[in-house]
Amino acid sequence: MEEPRTRAAKRAASAQRILEAAQLEFGEHGLEGATIRAIAQRAGVDPSLVIQHYGSKRDLFAIAAELHRESTDGDVAGHLFDVVGVRLGGLPPETRALVRSMLTAPEAKEAMREFLNERVTNLARASGGEDADLRAALTVSSILGLTIARHFLELDALKEISPAQLEKTVHPWVTAALGEDVDAED
């Protein structure tokens, strides 16, 4: 990778390294366990530069834990299959940071609640039907539980799930959660 040449490019590169280091630190240690010093060390910068770029640890956490919004593009079931596949695969650093911190840091709790409420609203609107809100909330909550069980609790049954097992078990679960007739797919 070519080194940035301008002062602005160097500043932007430093800010990006700090952000990536913060996501990893928050993902491993949560908001309370991560330190500015550890983030700076991981990014290869002085701790004062972390504060200069991001203000405080809580401000940096808010940026580092910002989740990317996904679009369903009309294929709700396909989107949910993809989401479950991602959650059983490797978690993005921002997701790991937010999930690890959501029970101990009010900022993380609020960010996660906002994100999940948005997911529930979008899923309920896309799937429609009777009890759409409840089915959407149960589906979103189940995916969160699956994420926690796989990546943080490391349940044995979820350690090495194959794509074939995922397809066999997730397909009926998602279609049932959406209120679709599973037999209609066969």
For residue range 66-95, what is the model confidence (pLDDT) as tens digits?
A: 755 555 555 677 777 777 777 777 788 888
pLDDT, tens digit, for every residue of 154-170? 889 887 877 778 778 87
Going from N- to C-terminal start, the domains of the chain cover: 7-64, 76-185
Give me the sign of the Cα torsion angle 34, 69, 91, 2: negative
pTM of the model: 0.68
Answer whether 95's CB lies under 8 Å from 81's CB.
no
What is the C-alpha separation between 158 and 32, in angstroms, rounded? Answer: 28
- Fold annotation for 7-64: Arc Repressor Mutant, subunit A (1.10.10)
What is the C-alpha separation between 94 and 9, in angstroms, rounded? Answer: 24
